[in-house]
Amino acid sequence: GAVVSQHPSWVICKSGTSVKIECRSLDFQATTMFWYRQFPKQSLMLMATSNEGSKATYEQGVEKDKFLINHASLTLSTLTVTSAHPEDSSFYICSAREVIHSYEQYFGPGTRLTVT
Amino acid sequence: AQTVTQSQPEMSVQEAETVTLSCTYDTSESDYYLFWYKQPPSRQMILVIRQEAYKQQNATENRFSVNFQKAAKSFSLKISDSQLGDAAMYFCAYRTPYNNNDMRFGAGTRLTVKP
């Protein structure tokens, strides 16, 4: 099956610094990628939708200047958390939708971000 | 706006028994997809089963089957012969066929399997 990877799987950073999370579709092309945030014992909340070569569309309440998303190619999207604060600590999951079978959506393994 | 509701925060089942997880949704669309995802402690989202709304036949995948009631907007998951490895969070999800539309998730049901 199709595989989506995320790197890093776990990152600790100091408050005020920025951290970049990569999401790659390994064996398929993804025109659309989604970034979700998941707090402990809660559901996935969509942060933004990105299309290759276009600006991301952010959900209401998500600061686009704080969570920078770049979908530079059909296999790579990045989420950069700028000037991170402890409240940004969370589990971030990316998901990629395949070009051919548009109903297939594959999830990455997630990245645990801890801001100290 | 489409919403997905899972009214059972937690469920428990004895090993080898059958359990049903409930899901309802609200939409004005006629064409859409419904999904059940499993999220084990590793937190990797795993697709359990998918149902296309235009199909009247309920989807099945080995021990997993759904009861899709389109008029009632209900989409329950039945797990037969429950195994210890089935213990996880289960999320019901909805999306339309349009490429940019995201997937909407329910709040989740935590399933415990007792040996």
DSSP of chain A: ---EEEE-SEEEE-TT--EEEEEEESSS-EEEEEEEEE-TTS-EEEEEEEETTS--EEPTT--TTTEEEEEEETTEEEEEE-S--GGG-EEEEEEEEESSSTT-EEE---EEEEE-
Radius of gyration of chain A (CA): 13
A32 min Cα distance to partner chain B (Å):
7
- For chain A, say whether B112 makes contact (Cβ under 8 Å): no
A34 touches chain B (CB under 8 A): yes
Mean pLDDT score of chain B: 94
* pLDDT(A1) > 90: no
| Banded pLDDT at A103 (limits 50, 70, 90) | low
How many angstroms separate the CA of residue A22 from the nearest CA in chain B? 16
**By CA distance, what is A98's nearest residue in B?**
B99
Per-residue model confidence as pLDDT tens digits over B12-68:
999 999 999 999 999 998 889 999 999 999 999 999 999 999 998 999 999 999 999
Q: Which of A91, A103, A105 is opposite residue B43, by nearest beta carbon?
A: A91
Select from B23, B79, B29, B36 the least CA-distant residue to B53.
B29
Q: How many residues are present in chain A?
A: 116
pLDDT at res. B102: 79
Q: Is the pLDDT of residue A99 over 80?
A: no
